[in-house]
Structure 1
């Protein structure tokens, strides 16, 4: 039986955890008294200085884990750059995360590719390049274009991820066109399975061209008890095939992620251990 960890995507906006006026500098410490893992999103927008990671290592307990999203240019979100132009960025990113690596707190790198990154030979080769450049580290892949799991490509995609020692990310998200992927309950790496709950806001999933306002709408969703219960058999299926399952809730816009994460943890009968003490909530 594998170990199951549940957390959310980012700790800064989880206001429901910080009801006693917690300062920004203390939020991660408080967060780590509730959950054993977190997804680091700020690394998607900038190459962060090592001191940031050093601080986060100090603020979290020994068994705490980070799922880290590489910079957006590394995953093709910034179109038009040649692969060669990105190699220095890969080097800088790798250097920046070393405090997590040395502390044993890097669960995996999460390469989330953009909605226009479809299933083509060119994109397969690019993933191979990413894997080669990051060969020292656990590596997870999340697709956002449904072509990767079209009937004629589904098994080939899973085989490919297995061949490059990558974790296939199971996604719960709206099914509203080519820029979304279906739920594919499968394991490609015996060490780690990764599940991400994005919400089911069908109307807000596509970008209407309003930038940040759209992002606030995209992840605005509160999972019902019935929707979460329907996921329990899927988790039971994959936990028998891997050493560890990490589950992340990304429905942050309305402040529902942490509550849904705790609700799902109870459904699975989890009792997280090794967390930070709760004293910070008193100040």
Structure 2
């Protein structure tokens, strides 16, 4: 099955006509969401229980792991990765029990390069979440360098990671390529960030808003469809997340892509339009 969704559920007014939408309302339009709140704090069990109560049976979540797991932030005094991983697994138990977790997402920064120390850390990460599906996203091109690419792919396969298939700006030498290679036959994760070449390397307080400010054109969506078509025969489940929402374009592009793939989702939450 191919599921399409967006990052977060609250900010897609294109779907609901509202500036701030509930998860229940979002789940009336798409069967998948990426929850980035976990990057900043481990979600409580109460919040997770609330989320799963708002969505239909076949809805899935992608949970971004806390930034200490991806080297964006150092551990605080008294913290340990083992204890934090245990807390995350315990809090997510209701979602796992209800079969609503598509995967965990570990998105590493551009500073996380293909060196032995970081390869060893990925082994450690696999042990922390050994019973859970984990997708790995790199922001540094070294993992895709010609001399490392085959080893990167094999490492991901051997450790049952799904290497995220990423779409990023194309004119920068540092960004990763759109590589539709499947490293996990159980699940594959596509993440589309847009192609804002100028904004991608922005810094400062508004950098995040600028970086993903991009609307995909029809020709670009056709290119992304080719990548999905290439991967589909090699994996059981596909998740596609549009993360190009700084300008509010993700939801519209997601629905356009749904039409391009000829997908028809049933069993979603009833939407307001369904009442008339």
TM category (shorter chain) comes to over 0.9
Does residue 196 (structure 1) correspond to residue 191 (structure 2)? The answer is yes
CA displacement at 1:237 relative to structure 2: 1.2
CA displacement at 1:94 relative to structure 2: 1.6
CA displacement at 1:257 relative to structure 2: 0.2
Q: 1:202-281 alignment to 2 at 5 Å? A: 202-208=197-203, 210-211=204-205, 213-279=206-272
Query: Is the 1:30–1:281 Cα contact (8 Å) retained in structure 2?
Result: no
Partner of 2:8 in structure 1?
Answer: 10
CA displacement at 1:18 relative to structure 2: 2.5
CA displacement at 1:177 relative to structure 2: 3.9
Query: Is the 1:18–1:27 Cα contact (8 Å) retained in structure 2?
Result: no
User: Structure 1 CA distance, aligned partners of 2:118 and 2:75?
Assistant: 14
Stretches (4+) displaced over 3 A: 79-82, 279-282
TM-score when normalising by structure 1: 0.92
Partner of 1:159 in structure 2?
Answer: 154
Does residue 94 (structure 1) correspond to residue 92 (structure 2)? The answer is no
User: Structure 2 CA distance, aligned partners of 1:234 and 1:262?
Assistant: 17
User: Structure 1 CA distance, aligned partners of 2:76 and 2:146?
Assistant: 31
Query: Is the 2:24–2:54 Cα contact (8 Å) retained in structure 1?
Result: yes
- Residues 116-137 of structure 1: CA deviation (Å, up to 9, x unaligned): 0000111011111111110111
Q: Could you say what secondary structure the match of 1:202 adopts?
A: coil
Which ranges of structure 2 fall in alignment gaps of 5 or more residues?
A: none
Partner of 2:100 in structure 1?
Answer: 105
CA displacement at 1:279 relative to structure 2: 3.4
Query: Is the 2:69–2:81 Cα contact (8 Å) retained in structure 1?
Result: yes
User: Structure 2 CA distance, aligned partners of 1:246 and 1:174?
Assistant: 21
Where relative contact order (Cα < 8 A, 6+ residues apart) is larger, the structure is 1
Of residues 34-43 and 86-95 in structure 1, the stretch that sits farther from structure 2 once superposed is: 86-95
CA displacement at 1:73 relative to structure 2: 0.8
Query: Is the 2:31–2:265 Cα contact (8 Å) retained in structure 1?
Result: yes
Q: Could you say what secondary structure the match of 2:80 adopts?
A: helix
Equivalent in 127, 136, 146 of residue 132 of structure 1: 127
CA displacement at 1:159 relative to structure 2: 0.2
Partner of 2:163 in structure 1?
Answer: 168
Partner of 2:52 in structure 1?
Answer: 57
Q: Could you say what secondary structure the match of 1:231 adopts?
A: helix
User: Structure 1 CA distance, aligned partners of 2:179 and 2:25?
Assistant: 34
Aligned pair count reads 274
Query: Is the 1:7–1:38 Cα contact (8 Å) retained in structure 2?
Result: yes
- Residues 209-236 of structure 1: CA deviation (Å, up to 9, x unaligned): x12x111101100000111011222111
Equivalent in 69, 72, 77 of residue 77 of structure 1: 72
Q: CA RMSD in A?
A: 1.9
Partner of 1:35 in structure 2?
Answer: 30
Q: Could you say what secondary structure the match of 2:130 adopts?
A: coil
Which ranges of structure 1 fall in alignment gaps of 5 or more residues?
A: none
CA displacement at 1:88 relative to structure 2: 1.8
TM-score when normalising by structure 2: 0.94
Equivalent in 110, 113, 117 of residue 115 of structure 1: 110
- Residues 11-45 of structure 1: CA deviation (Å, up to 9, x unaligned): 111121231x47x5x61111101000110100111
Q: Could you say what secondary structure the match of 1:174 adopts?
A: coil
Query: Is the 1:111–1:141 Cα contact (8 Å) retained in structure 2?
Result: yes
